[in-house]
């Protein structure tokens, strides 16, 4: 795959034109910890092979999955870069925290007409860091949001736990439930202590085009099924132009990747990857059936989006 790595265009990312096929359609994909790690490149191959679109992979920085005051303007800079490459139609896709960031970005940039948010929240999270600090692998920022706009942090839901209790709570809950990592308790307790204010909710009603929201009831990182339902309710009472399609499954874990994308990531061992979560081990059949259904629905949505006049 041919790539163009960009670090001085207002964003950190890699551009991967679809080889052998001219396309003026691009998807900004925020998968993996780095714009050119295995997960990111697997997403590129999947989008190239199945849909023939150009791809721009994005990440906060080199092998950095921390999210703190990440400028939303990076997406605007990425769109302008893609326009310079001849692209005329723009989609965005993210999973987990970047599922949230995809929603935020799409709410600010109407040029984005396809938004794929896997296991997103419907609010802006407090910023966090990942690395090593006092034996902890993650800790909350102090006065930092996950995203910023025009130099100011976006209003966010603050974590009720601080360092080091924040990560200690996650590890204790994971040990109790026999999962890889559990942060659902952190988010549930934070929302109880600080009911989400209107300014902290993502303005999904401003999103244009097709909006895909994907999550599972058994997600142990946060209650994404509830968040998706809140977005549905919000859209039901507010004027909007997006066409929303929600996919909520009883069993699918936090890894709600389309089945063919997961196989691209891990030709062997995909089930073992999902098995890092207890639900993935106990409901293997149901999780796979969910991923197959997600694959069918997401693929159909992308194909339809590509066909719509620019």
pLDDT single digits (tens) 190-217: 999 999 999 999 999 999 999 999 999 9
Are residues 29 and 50 in contact, defined by beta-carbon separation less than 8 angstroms? no
For residue 42, the model assigns a pLDDT of: 96
pLDDT at 170 over 90: yes
Domain containing 285 equals: 4-307
For residue 4, the model assigns a pLDDT of: 64
pLDDT at 218 over 90: yes
CA distance 308 to 299: 15
CA distance 228 to 63: 29
pLDDT at 7 over 70: no
Share of the chain above pLDDT 90, in %: 86
Q: Which residues contact 294 (CB under 8 A, 6 or more apart)?
A: 214, 247, 249, 252, 256, 257, 258, 259
Q: Please give the tally of structural domains in the chain.
A: 1
For residue 265, the model assigns a pLDDT of: 92
In this structure, what CATH number is given to the domain that contains residue 237? Answer: 3.40.50.1820
pLDDT at 1 over 60: no
At 22, the pLDDT band (50, 70, 90 cuts) reads confident
pLDDT single digits (tens) 108-157: 999 999 999 999 999 999 999 999 999 999 999 988 999 999 999 999 99
Q: Quote the strand ranges of the chain, DSSP E.
A: 4-6, 13-16, 25-30, 54-58, 70-71, 89-95, 112-118, 126-133, 136-145, 147-149, 152-153, 210-216, 243-249
Share of the chain above pLDDT 70, in %: 96
CA distance 248 to 217: 7
CA distance 162 to 136: 12
For residue 50, the model assigns a pLDDT of: 96
For residue 2, the model assigns a pLDDT of: 59
The stretch 74-98 carries a mean pLDDT of 96
- In eight-state DSSP terms, residue 201 is B
Strands 25-30 and 13-16, by their bridges, are unpaired
pLDDT at 106 over 70: yes
3-state helix, strand, coil in the chain (%, to 5): 40, 25, 35
For residue 225, the model assigns a pLDDT of: 98
For residue 151, the model assigns a pLDDT of: 95
| CA 37 distance to own-chain centroid | 16
CA distances from 280 to 91, 98, 156, 224, 286 (A): 29, 22, 31, 17, 9
pLDDT single digits (tens) 230-259: 999 999 999 999 999 999 999 999 999 999
The stretch 20-30 carries a mean pLDDT of 92
pLDDT mean across residues, the chain: 94
More confident residue, 98 or 60: 98
CA distance 61 to 264: 24
Look up tokens 């310079």; give the residue: 84
| CA 141 distance to own-chain centroid | 20
Look up tokens 């998807």; give the residue: 27
For residue 269, the model assigns a pLDDT of: 66
The stretch 35-44 carries a mean pLDDT of 94
For residue 21, the model assigns a pLDDT of: 76
> Which residues on adjacent β-strands are paired with residue 148?
71, 153
At 32, the pLDDT band (50, 70, 90 cuts) reads confident
The stretch 81-106 carries a mean pLDDT of 97
């Amino acid at each position: 795959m041919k790539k163009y790595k960009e670090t001085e265009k207002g964003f950190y990312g890699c551009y991967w034109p679809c080889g052998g096929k001219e396309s003026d359609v691009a998807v900004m994909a925020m998968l993996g910890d780095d714009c050119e790690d295995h997960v990111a490149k697997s997403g590129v191959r999947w989008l190239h092979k199945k849909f023939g679109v150009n791809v721009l992979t994005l990440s906060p920085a080199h092998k950095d999955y921390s999210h703190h005051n990440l400028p939303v303007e990076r997406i605007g800079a990425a769109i302008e870069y893609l326009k310079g490459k001849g692209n005329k139609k723009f989609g965005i896709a993210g999973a987990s925290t970047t599922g949230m960031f995809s929603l935020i970005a799409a709410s600010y940039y109407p040029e984005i007409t396809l938004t794929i948010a896997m296991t997103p929240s419907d609010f802006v999270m407090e910023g966090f860091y990942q690395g090593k600090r006092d034996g902890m692998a993650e800790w909350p920022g102090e006065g930092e949001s996950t995203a910023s706009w025009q130099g100011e942090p976006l209003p966010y839901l603050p974590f009720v736990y601080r360092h080091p209790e924040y990560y200690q709570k996650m590890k204790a809950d994971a040990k109790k439930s026999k999962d890889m990592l559990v942060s659902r308790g952190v988010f549930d307790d934070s929302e109880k202590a600080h009911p989400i204010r209107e300014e902290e909710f993502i303005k999904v009603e401003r999103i244009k085009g097709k909006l895909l929201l994907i999550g599972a009831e058994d997600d142990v990182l946060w209650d994404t099924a509830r968040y998706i339902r809140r977005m549905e309710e919000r859209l039901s009472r507010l004027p909007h132009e997006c066409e929303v399609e929600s996919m909520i499954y009883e069993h699918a874990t936090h890894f709600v990747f389309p089945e063919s994308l997961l196989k691209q990531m891990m030709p062997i061992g995909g089930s073992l990857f999902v098995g890092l979560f207890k639900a993935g081990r106990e409901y293997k059949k149901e999780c796979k059936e969910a991923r197959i259904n997600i694959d069918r629905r997401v693929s159909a949505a992308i194909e339809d989006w590509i066909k719509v006049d620019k």
